[in-house]
């Protein structure tokens, strides 16, 4: 529970999202089982401030515990109901974006 929030790699992830021009973004606030509720709420606000004005501004922030499987069902439901299945092009050569 003593890790910084947001994590250092978050900027890199957001840069990759911007490069790939992704529009369907979910922010997962993981390891909430390791901190007190007040700390989790403060981290939530930190995340909102961190992404404000950027590509992830307005994206849902879902608090989860991967270890305890807390809110994993919420993540799955959001993906299934809110993120459209992309159209696939099976004619053109495949592309791979490397960041």
* pLDDT tens, position by position, 11-40: 899 999 999 889 999 999 999 999 999 999
User: What pLDDT sits at residue 67?
Assistant: 95
54-96 pLDDT, tens digit per residue, is 999 999 999 999 999 999 999 999 999 999 998 888 999 987 7
Is 97 a residue whose pLDDT tops 70? no
Task: Quickly list DSSP for the chain.
Answer: --S-SS-TTHHHHHHHHHHTT-----EEE--GGGS-HHHHHHHHHHHHHHHTTSTTTT--EEE-BTTTTBTHHHHHHHHHHHSPPPPP-SSSPP-----
Predicted TM-score (pTM) of the model is 0.82
Distance CA 92, CA 27 (A): 32
């Amino acid at each position: 529970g003593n890790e910084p929030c947001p994590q250092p790699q978050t900027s890199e992830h957001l840069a990759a999202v911007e490069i790939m021009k992704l529009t369907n973004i979910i922010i997962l606030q993981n390891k909430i089982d390791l901190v007190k509720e007040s700390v989790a709420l403060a981290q939530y606000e930190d995340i909102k401030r961190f992404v404000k004005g950027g590509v992830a501004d307005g994206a849902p922030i879902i608090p989860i515990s991967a270890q305890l499987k807390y809110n994993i069902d919420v993540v799955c439901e959001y993906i299934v109901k809110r993120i459209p299945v992309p159209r696939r092009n099976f004619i053109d050569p495949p592309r791979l974006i490397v960041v």
